[in-house]
Amino acid sequence: MDTKFPLIMPADSETLILYRPVNQAELDLIAAADWRAFPPRLPEQPIFYPVTNEAYAAQIARDWNVPYYGVGYVLRFAVDAAYASRFPVQNVGGPEHDELWVPAEDLAEFNQHIVGRIEVTQEFRREA
């Protein structure tokens, strides 16, 4: 793991650990926000959907982001559990495909409930 990425504090009973697959452009915006916030959604993206497990995030980063963007990252972050409980968990496939659905208009407030910093846990690149 590249040590240039900051680490977050471990979760406790008051925080929920979530994961987010991203491409390089989104990672750069997160880094510019000091690893503390996700960028606003684009108009065609009405939902911000962090996922509930790292394996699912890795699947998206590897199988979708790498073919389309050439690189995919898995991010891990903690969010205030009480705040996160207001958003529905949606299953979009198999039992491991759970996502927290945050409306795009709530993302700025959601970012305020991130505890610590966003961390990169995995990186996938297109083979040369």
Structurally, how many domains does the chain consist of?
1
27 occurs within a structural domain: yes
Q: Is residue 7 part of a domain?
A: no
CATH code (residue 100): 3.20.170
Residue 53 lies in a domain: yes
At 22-79, the pLDDT tens digits run: 999 999 999 999 999 999 999 999 999 999 999 999 999 999 999 999 999 999 999 9
3-state secondary structure of 49: coil
In a domain, 1, yes or no: no
The domain containing residue 98 runs over which residues?
15-35+44-125
Neighbours of 87 (CB within 10 A): 19
3 belongs to a structural domain? no
Of residues 3 and 9, the one with the higher pLDDT is 9
What does the pLDDT average to over 95-106?
93
Coarse DSSP helix, strand, coil percentages of the chain, rounded to the nearest 5 percent: 30, 30, 40
The kind and range of the H/E element at 111 are helix 107-112
Q: What is the mean pLDDT of the chain?
A: 90
